[in-house]
Amino acid sequence: MVALLIALLLKTFMVQVFVIPSGSMEQTIEIGDRVLVDKLTPWFGSEPARGEVVVFKDPGGWLEADHKPSSDGPVLHGVKQVFSYVGLLPSENEQDLIKRVIGVPGDTVECCDAQGRLHVNGTALDEPYLAPGNAPSKQPFKVTVPAGRLWVMGDHREVSADSRYHMGNPGGGTIPMENVVGRAFVIAWPMQRVSQLDVPSSLSSLPVLSPPAQAAATGAGGVRARAVEGVPESIGSNPDPTEPPLVMGVLGVIPRIVRSRRSMARREPPAG
């Protein structure tokens, strides 16, 4: 019970583990990696910044995978729901995705220049995190990010059904900030891939627009997103629009701690 309570508190307020089911963030994050997501700092007013890798709820129409009806009985179904709620089993209803933040409110994101580079507010980006052989985008576009929203893209651009792919959706491909679950900051498993998910300097060094500048850029809050005229709408390599959602992982350290304490108690000699 103590382990379940600690897992619930951690999953709800501090850190949650997610399993990566697709290759849209390769080579930064690979299929099967477990990432730790910081859910604590948003409680103190922290907002996503350019370059951060974030997990967010589907804003609508990004995930279209069919959910098969459960064949579990009522008792087993109830037990699974409890364990899913505390984060010890993956939830059948999770609708989360993971991408990198490229544009924040007021930013103008555009691709591409004569050298094939992505621009944010007129500054060309160096993107060392892109999957080898990937162009910043095979689909030219230009978007101004409205207040309270983000423009996100996968690092494996040729297979990522990211903001570019959903420019025809409400929001013009941008996602609401309130949909952000938290920032993925560490690859925690497998052991050989344990590493910190740093924010690239090409994005973190860009100046943050002041609120008046954001308001001027986004006008009355309307989304301004468009593909460049005369260019086909295809992004290039037909990313899968039914990208699987992230799977909520198991916070396995809790039961391990409990087992460790029990084994230590059994090994300690009696006092005196």
The catalytic residues are 24, 99
Structure tokens at 268: 């300690």
Tokens of 74: 């009522």
Phi (first) and psi of residue 235, to 5 degrees: -75, -20
Residues 121, 206: contact at Cβ < 8 Å? yes
Q: Rounded CA gap, 245 and 97, in Å? A: 6
What does the DSSP 8-state code read for residue 55? Answer: E
DSSP letter (8 states) at residue 13: I
Quickly tell me which residue has 């980006």 as its tokens: 125
179-196 exposure pattern, b = at least 16 Cβ within 10 A, e = fewer = bbbbbbbebbbeeeeeee
Length of the chain, please?
272
Residue 126 CA to residue 131 CA, distance in Å, equals 13
Separation in Å, CA 72 to CA 76, 119, 266: 6, 50, 38
Asked whether the CA dihedral 233, 235, 240, 244 is positive or negative, the reply is: negative
